[in-house]
Amino acid sequence: MPEITLAQAAPHIRHGSNIGQPLTRRDGVLKVTGGARYAADHHPTGMLHAVLAVSSIARGRVNFLHVPAAKGHPGVVEVMTPENRPSLAEDPDAKTTPFMFRLDLLQNDGVRYAGQPIAVVIAETLEAATEAAALLSPRYEAEPARIGLDRNDSFIPPALSGLGLPPEVRHGDVEAGLAAAEHRIEAIYETQAQYHNAMEPHAIVAAWDGDRLTVDTPSQGLAWAQERIAGLFGIPPENILIRSPFLGGGFGSKGMISGPQVLGILAARLVGRPVKLVLRREQMYGPVGHRAPTRQTLRLGADRQGALTAIHHHMLTATSSFDDFFEPSVQVSHTLYASPAIATTAEAVRLDTGTPLFMRAPGEASGSIALESAIDEMAHAIGMDPLEFRLKNYAEVEPISGKPFSSKALRECYAQGAARFGWAGRPLAPRQMRDENGLLVGWGLGTATFPATMFQGQARAVLRRDGTGLVELGAQDMGQGAWTALAQIAADSLGLDLDQLEFRAGSSDLPDAGIAGGSSHTATAGMAIHGAGADVIAKLAELAMGDERSPLFGANNAGVLARGGRLIRRDDESRGESYADILARSSLAEIEGRGSAGGDPFAQKPYAMYAHGAVFAEVKVDPELGQIRATRLVGAFAAGTIINPRLVRSQYYGGMIWGVSFALHEHAVMDRRSGRTLNANLAEYHVPVNVDVPSLEALLIDEQDPHVNALGIKGVGEIGITGTAGAVANAVWHATGIRVRRFPIRIDDLVMSASD
Ligand code: MOS
């Protein structure tokens, strides 16, 4: 049999007719017509409604629940408490891998944070369950809540983000670099706790059939969720079917199955009927993750010419009292700017909050608003244009590791972004520009970056005798457009048109496609699809090339193209044969291929692999009222191969809007006495609405990366937030001359500073 390598079998991949096309979302019509079924849209026969009762204290014990009152309420079927909660095969506090979070599943009467589930009421109607939950009237033995970063019991976290990133990194001699510097700045930047606030709350419909379980629930990681549930309930993973065709956003909070979702499954177990459990908005401020607050100290030194001599990035963050997730804010300082000396250090405190979690560029977002602010402060101290200063300190190789970048078109991002924005006209000094209405105008810049990562994933591809194809994998569409982008890769990998392709995803009975997180899904799932397509095409080519009746007989190995449902000889493109004919002659109804992608995403690699970008922001500030509006954003991003420019732009816009949100809006306010989030609702927890979203432009900068993966795909999901938050903050300084180092920047920061 001739041997065909992957690249030989699918050389058409980079030049396919689908990859690169700005197709609209294939699921768009379904969504706007209400035809797309989300988890909470399911109502299996006999379904009951479950409602959580949650703790109003942050630490202590529940010592009374009025269960009889709740149970006596009309329509109530059962009340689940630690007393009668079905047993689990695994301790919810056990942790055997870093990607496993300790869950609150009514294991005892302890309370570890405000908003922790303490009981579940199950009733015939949502109203009955809600009313009965209020009748539980819990009483507590409360201890004082440990809230706020100012504590005297901080410690060095074992590993940042819980994933093995070292809490301390030292390269060169930072103190010597600072001592020798002509210019030095030292500043402290604070970021607040933030909550993911996906539009769709965590929701689950769970139905048991003996030892088999079917759940409809949004998940960014079907296989992880399946494994965790299997472990908790002591059943084989294949007994569990998780359907998650659409997510109404996740932002990291649906990366792992959460406690409330498992409580829904437990409730269904307890009553022996299907159960639906949907979190209310305020119940999402606790058990489903958040971004921890940070306090970051940046010390920078630069020589007379503006070259950095030292970067020290220190962070203090918080985690829960019972688990380990540490927002890895300092990671950006390892990669963004060249400096002979770089040190990053970390410190953490334990608070009585839910465990923090990955959220929208975890680490990069919080770290880059601090670093980009400090870089801006240094440029000003030196008297250099902020763009010129960044170019002066451009990292040609990754600064600490010394590794070459697999590709890095950041210079082009700076150049094209600046040109499009009109950066050249920017006055160096702040508070120089006004618009026609007398509003202060400021322009700021931020560098964007995010690692290009892949997780492990698999896919299956089939070609059928009727000329159609099938690609299936457990990929997750959380609104980013996976149904479309992955189908485009699938069609090209099989040499078919999109309308000849059946594409299945979003279900745990399909090959595990890894997680939709870490901006890695298109690369992971895309490469698995690419591999599956190449495998099935190679098998088909073997059938044809070894058969003297085929026009492909004797074609040399390098010479087969798959295009338009046909295999074509490369040495003579007029000679080819349709898939259907090959299969028919071989008496096969279909032929199947498998592909896999990824490896250990945290393993050492010979290249530093990142997407990059530059974001230019304009803000306007009312000089009397301090009101801030982000009025114009231009982002220029380089992220390797662009599968679908329309969707990628949309991803960048989303990230940029979250960047505006980080700089100006989002802030979970904790009541220091009770440990409760005071603004646990979308009226008071501000996220940008249309009026807050400026004119947005995202430029797609050409970049070909031969190293990240065979398709050259980097991620686009999270990078937008990273440059934008700093750009907006820097623009506020440029507009007002007031440097605010606590984010989000508020009206009071500007008004009070202006008047003192
Ligand atoms: Mo994202 S925070 O990797 O879902």
416 falls in which pLDDT band (50, 70, 90)? very high
- Cβ atoms of 676 and 737 closer than 8 Å: no
| pLDDT for the residue 756 | 45
Sequence-ordered list of residues with C-beta below 8 angstroms from that of 43, at least 6 positions apart, any chain = 205, 276
| pLDDT for the residue 164 | 77
* 519 CA closest ligand 1 atom index: 3
- The predicted model gives 102-125 an average pLDDT of 98
Mean pLDDT rounded to a whole number for the chain: 95
- Cβ atoms of 218 and 250 closer than 8 Å: yes
Q: Which residue in this structure is represented by tokens 């709350």? A: 201
Q: Is the pLDDT of residue 555 over 90?
A: no
Q: Is the pLDDT of residue 13 over 70?
A: no
| pLDDT for the residue 376 | 98
The pick from 251, 257, 721 for probing ligand 1's pocket by mutation, whose C-beta has the most ligand atoms within 8 angstroms, reads 251
Q: Is the pLDDT of residue 755 over 90?
A: no
This prediction has a pTM of: 0.95
- The predicted model gives 343-365 an average pLDDT of 97
| pLDDT for the residue 314 | 98
Q: Is the pLDDT of residue 23 over 90?
A: yes
266 SS3 class: helix
| Cα 361 to ligand 1 centre (Å) | 6
Q: Is the pLDDT of residue 129 over 60?
A: yes
Helices 719-736 and 747-755 pack at an angle, to 10 degrees, of: 20
| pLDDT for the residue 445 | 98
- Is 451 touching ligand 1 by the criterion CB < 6 Å? no
- Is 252 touching ligand 1 by the criterion CB < 6 Å? yes
- The predicted model gives 692-707 an average pLDDT of 95
Sequence-ordered list of residues with C-beta below 8 angstroms from that of 196, at least 6 positions apart, any chain = 249, 250, 251, 252, 253, 284, 288, 289, 290, 291, 357, 359, 360
| Cα 220 to ligand 1 centre (Å) | 9
Residue 276 DSSP label: E
| Cα 434 to ligand 1 centre (Å) | 39
- Is 358 touching ligand 1 by the criterion CB < 6 Å? yes
- The predicted model gives 49-54 an average pLDDT of 98
| Cα 601 to ligand 1 centre (Å) | 14
- The predicted model gives 714-722 an average pLDDT of 97
| Sequence letter at residue 573 | E
540 falls in which pLDDT band (50, 70, 90)? very high
Q: In angstroms, how far is the first alpha carbon of the chain from the final one?
A: 82
**CA-closest candidate to residue 663, choices 553, 562, 585, 741:** 741
Residues forming the active site: 718
| Cα 449 to ligand 1 centre (Å) | 15
Q: Is the pLDDT of residue 1 over 90?
A: no
- Is 518 touching ligand 1 by the criterion CB < 6 Å? yes
Q: Is the pLDDT of residue 554 over 90?
A: no
Q: Is the pLDDT of residue 619 over 90?
A: yes
Q: On the CB side of 594, how many CA atoms lie within 13 Å of its CA?
A: 6
- Is 218 touching ligand 1 by the criterion CB < 6 Å? no
Q: Which pLDDT tens digit goes with each residue over 292-304?
A: 999 999 999 999 9
**CA-closest candidate to residue 56, choices 282, 293, 325, 292:** 282
* 358 CA closest ligand 1 atom index: 2
| pLDDT for the residue 152 | 93
